[in-house]
Amino acid sequence: MPLNFNTKKMDDNLCKLLITKGELKQSIFTVTLETMQLFKDAAKSFEEHYRDHYADDHDSIPVLFTNKNQYQFMLKFGGDVLIFLMHTNIFEFSRDHEVMRTPYIKEDKDRSYCGMIQIFNFLGDSLKYDRVNDLGYMIGRIFINKEGHYYIEGKRELAQVINNFSSNEISAEAVKEILSSAIRYTLNFDLLVPNYEDMKIITVNDILQLEEQTNLLRTGKRLGFRFEQDKNE
């Protein structure tokens, strides 16, 4: 006996699922992009404040905001650079993540879908001298859902921002606090001397090429070292 599939109903269900998921992700993308603009505004404001009040007396210590594109910008201060990068895709927290056990998510599972903005720290000289082997570090990432609520994962100062996904809503003030925490962490995240054993051997070719370029000896803030405060993170 032939099976009687209701292909119209099946196709309609798939179309409705496609539209529901697509509209959800598009709304989250829009909120995340608006959040990215708030971060750009905050970084630009920090640059302007420094220029207006401190730059004349401390011209050897620069603060510079650079808008790279819609999804990326850089903030250089002193010898450090923060790169903010918005991912263009939408993510869902894994089942075993702590936010999935909260009443806020259990009330509406769609709240677990988020856009993501990552914060990376690089040495200013790594970019200035095109030292392509140098290391950068992700110091935090911000997740934003359809309602503009946010959750932060990050190092020390960023982790100290109170994480209450159900009540934390993105705003100009919230973004300013996150940016300030990222800058503060970076300023306290110092460059340490590399491990001697990792650096004691170098080839003749390396030395000859160093006369023409400076990107052969890898530099990073924690090559072979861990910050005492980072051990439990």
- Domain extent listing, the chain: 8-191
Read off the tokens for 100. 């999935």
pLDDT of 22 over the 90 cut:
yes
pTM listed for this prediction: 0.83
Q: What is the mean pLDDT of residues 201-221?
A: 61
Q: What is the DSSP letter of 212?
A: T
Q: What is the mean pLDDT of residues 106-130?
A: 93
Tens digit of each residue's pLDDT (9 = 90 or more) over 140-168:
999 999 999 999 998 766 755 668 899 99
pLDDT at 155: 74
Residue 23 contacts residue 58 (beta carbons within 8 Å): no
Tens digit of each residue's pLDDT (9 = 90 or more) over 30-55:
999 999 999 999 999 999 999 999 99
